[in-house]
Amino acid sequence: MTPAPDLLAPAADYSAHPVATIVLDPSGHIVGVNPAAEALLAIGNKALVGKPIGDIVPVLATRSFAPPRTIAAYDAAVTLAGRHHLIDVVGETGETGATILALLPASRGEPQAARRGATKAAAVGAATILAHEIKNPLSGIRGAAQLIASGKADRERFTSLICREVDRIAALIDRMEILSSERPMSLEAASVFPTIRHALDIARAGFASDVAIEERHDPSLPLAMFDADALVQLLLNLVKNAVEALAGTEGPRITVSASYRHGHFVAREDGEGMHELPIMLTVTDNGPGVPAQILSDLFRPFASGKSGGTGLGLAVAERLALGMGGTIAYDRDEAAGLTHFRLMIARAP
């Protein structure tokens, strides 16, 4: 295979890059490999150039590399020269058609299974967690009751909200066993929009009554696989976390969005390959972001940057995300002054 000259240029640019880097042509064949990638994969440039990337990273075998496209695959299994690797792959296809992939050892951070075990082991205060989680629906119930009493609310709508939240408190108690075990959640194919709206109704009627919450959704979003009660609780945790982070912020605002993102893969828990998580729910706020000293422990129980905070909200949010086979991540856009928490879940078959 003779790659086009303009596709070779990026390989030269990345030759001294400390991160393992592979350059692909539009058909997904390797046209350049830097020394860091050779060292990581324990195989030379000559043996790699010309091969389809799917031969090296099987999860990418069926991927399209048409621009523009962002690529991400986590805990991807790779076997080369008799050695087994778990790597994370992130990259982007540019306008020239060249795809630049960065390969990172998955062991640099905690694999999802290890994080799940650590979260479970750390969440020993079951009674404390339960008390913390019940506060969210109780806040919504109290707010709805006050609105009904004021005569300014849709009585039928908020009475229904109260009934649903009372039922959900009972479900929360039952789910404590799930939160402390590996028993799978009940995932069903459904639209995320009614669940998002219900969670935001609760938030607006209670702890988020003084903060503007905007919704930005892709109306063409396909059905997703999730546990509705778990998703409500997860969104409440993220929105409440955003509200608390906005304390003292001028013009506080929260944006909740649902969109579709190609290319986010994670390893299956059973070790049998990878699965894609293209449904992205994002909770964004214009607060100051997470303090640097707790970033590495952000999703661990009892890690909190707030005075008097328990640090349980994000820990439980991650446990619920993992229980649905999804992922949750923090991202800070300093230039825009925005904090994002992104939940990725699977599309329905």
* Same domain flag for 81 and 137: no
Q: How many domains does the chain have?
A: 2
* Same domain flag for 252 and 239: yes
Any idea what the CATH number is for the domain that residue 32 is in?
3.30.450.20
DSSP 52: B
* Same domain flag for 180 and 283: yes
206, pLDDT greater than 50 = yes
Dihedral angle, C-alpha 124, 126, 131, 132, nearest 10 °: 40
Contact 180, 320 (CB under 8 A): no
Any idea what the CATH number is for the domain that residue 225 is in?
3.30.565.10
Q: Which of 108, 123, 141 is the last residue of a domain?
A: 108
* Parent domain of 121: 113-345
Element (H, E) at 344: strand 338-345
DSSP 221: P
* Same domain flag for 130 and 170: yes
* Same domain flag for 86 and 143: no
* Same domain flag for 21 and 154: no
Contact 27, 10 (CB under 8 A): no
Least confident of 54-58, 214-218, 306-310: 306-310
* Same domain flag for 131 and 80: no
pLDDT of residue 341: 95
Q: Which of 77, 108, 139 is the last residue of a domain?
A: 108
Q: Which of 108, 134, 154 is the last residue of a domain?
A: 108
* Same domain flag for 330 and 196: yes
* Same domain flag for 334 and 218: yes
pTM passes above 0.75: no
- pLDDT top residue among 84 and 177: 84
* Same domain flag for 219 and 321: yes
281, pLDDT greater than 90 = yes
Range with top average pLDDT, 39-43, 104-108, 124-128, 135-139: 39-43
Dihedral angle, C-alpha 228, 109, 262, 332, nearest 10 °: 80
The token pair at 183 is 């028993």
Angle formed by the axes of helices 155-179 and 193-205, nearest 10°: 110
Considering only the C-alpha atoms of the chain, give the largest distance between any 2 of them, rounded to a whole number of Å: 76
50, pLDDT greater than 80 = yes
Give the pairing of strands 274-276 and 264-267.
Answer: antiparallel
> What average pLDDT does range 289-300 have in this prediction?
78
Measured from the Cβ of residue 181, the count of other Cβ atoms closer than 10 Å reads 10
The token pair at 328 is 């949750």
The token pair at 59 is 């999860």
Residue recorded with tokens 């000293």: 293
Our CA angle for 77, 266, 289, nearest 5°, is 130
* Same domain flag for 202 and 341: yes
Alpha helices in 50-103 (DSSP H): 53-56
* Same domain flag for 60 and 145: no
Length of the chain: 349
DSSP 185: P
pLDDT of residue 22: 87
130, pLDDT greater than 80 = no
